[in-house]
Structure 1
Amino acid sequence: MGTEDERKKPIGFWHNFQSGQGTWSDKILKAIMKKQKANSPLPHDALRINKDVYDFPQFPEDSVTGHAAWNDWPWKLHRINGTKFELYNLQDDPMETRDLSRNDQHKQRLASMKKELDLWMRSVIRSLNGQDYATPIK
């Protein structure tokens, strides 16, 4: 284990961007191996392993689904479905009970964190779309 007490770089989180479909990869792979060892045709479930591999949907970069957060210690910004923002100081308020997003004192911080979160979310979408997520947005 490391000895770091705090994160030096901001980190983003994004929940419920898109609902997924579970795949029992371990069970499918075991069935495939069993059939391969017996020189038998592969089971029908083997096709599920490659589901959507060659046909990923493309997502718009301005997607607003789900709940996202940007944690830049000690600050945390919540983005709720793209319409609501909440800002917390985790050092002073670890239980996130006092939303500071409407406090004029934090207006510049709120704007800066919104921009950083937006840039990170767009990089996630570019990565999902098969693009280089490190490419800067123009």
Structure 2
Amino acid sequence: SRFGGGCPKLAVHAAFTQPGQILVEAVEMPDGAEFLCIARTLEGPQGAFSERPRRTALLIGCDIGFRDEIVYGGALPGTASGKSGQGVAVATPVGPACRLCERIGCLARAEPPVTRPLGLDEMVTGLSAFDFQ
């Protein structure tokens, strides 16, 4: 958290738009490692009628190699109990945090990476708000 929150492409952020639903996805880190991620929200106590309940989002993950051993792995295509039963799960490219990720052309990038200099060229427009060299 020293370099900002997690990747905005992770399902933990989308969980707030679908409270109580379990979101399952395959993700790929910049180094090529793939994970099965499970996200959902939990409702906390509500103090009074006029107060909104406290809602917390959780994200857990494991190596994608265990997807056939986990019940939630069946939600991905390409698993024995998957909906389509064929193909391989397409992993969402994510990073640890925008300040640590060097993926080029990420539309969800909120900050430039601390590891690379900014590409400041007013004649070139990239996909991301923060282009870098």
Is the TM value for this pair above 0.5? no
TM-score by length of 2: 0.26
Highest Rg: 1 or 2? Answer: 1
TM-score by length of 1: 0.25
Structure having the larger proportion of residues in helix: 1
